[in-house]
Amino acid sequence: MGVVLPALHRAADEPFRLDHFVEQPHIVALYRSGFVDLDHLTGAVDELVPLWPSGHLRTVADERPNRWGDDTERHLVRSPWPSLSVDDVLDLLWRWVERDQDGLVDRVRAARITEVFGWTEERARTVLDGPDPRDDR
């Protein structure tokens, strides 16, 4: 016990840090432009990345020391509609994709995701603000 207490005491005197990793300046610039890490928000990264509008997707080398799995790429996205957050976009996508049992079929899911990304901001906002179509199942 004599070894543990001094170690805890020394740690308490140091500033708290999760690790010594510092984001690269180009990633910080993307964050400031409204991009977020898609893998922090959903497990459907592999499904969404090929369908996310290219003007709102950045794929960069994953240099994080504790990255997940064997992925060497990191996907950052922003909303294609200024009035919606990325969380809103994901909610909108799943509302539309999963509105019925057909949404379980991969090709239908991809077509519905593509359909949503083709909507105007007004249409996206209307569906998001309206009743959840999944409730009709």
Please give, one letter per residue, the 3-state secondary structure of 50-83: CCCCHHHEEEEECCCCCCCCCCCEEEEECCCCCC
Token pair belonging to 126: 């209307």
Report pLDDT for 68: 64
Is residue 95 within 8 A of residue 130, CB to CB? The reply is no
- 3 state DSSP class of 77: strand
Of the two residues 90 and 137, the one the predictor is more confident about is 90
124/103 Cα distance (integer angstroms)? 18
Domains of the chain, by residue range, sit at 21-131
Using only C-alpha atoms, what is the Rg of the chain?
A: 20
Q: To the nearest whole percent, how much of the chain has pLDDT over 70? A: 80
Q: What is the mean pLDDT of residues 109-120?
A: 97
Q: What is the mean pLDDT of residues 59-79?
A: 83
Helix (H), strand (E) at residue 93 = helix 86-97
Report pLDDT for 104: 85
Residue that the structure tokens 């180009």 belong to:
26
Question: Which are the contacts of 41, defined by CB distance < 8 A and separation ≥ 6?
Answer: 86, 87, 90
Report pLDDT for 13: 52
Is residue 42 within 8 A of residue 113, CB to CB? The reply is no
Of the two residues 28 and 84, the one the predictor is more confident about is 84
| pLDDT higher than threshold 50 for residue 134 | yes
- 3 state DSSP class of 58: strand
Q: Could you tell me which residues are beta bridge partners of residue 76?
A: 37, 58
| pLDDT higher than threshold 50 for residue 4 | no
Using alpha carbons, select from 113, 128, 104 the residue that is nearest to residue 49: 113
| pLDDT higher than threshold 50 for residue 135 | yes
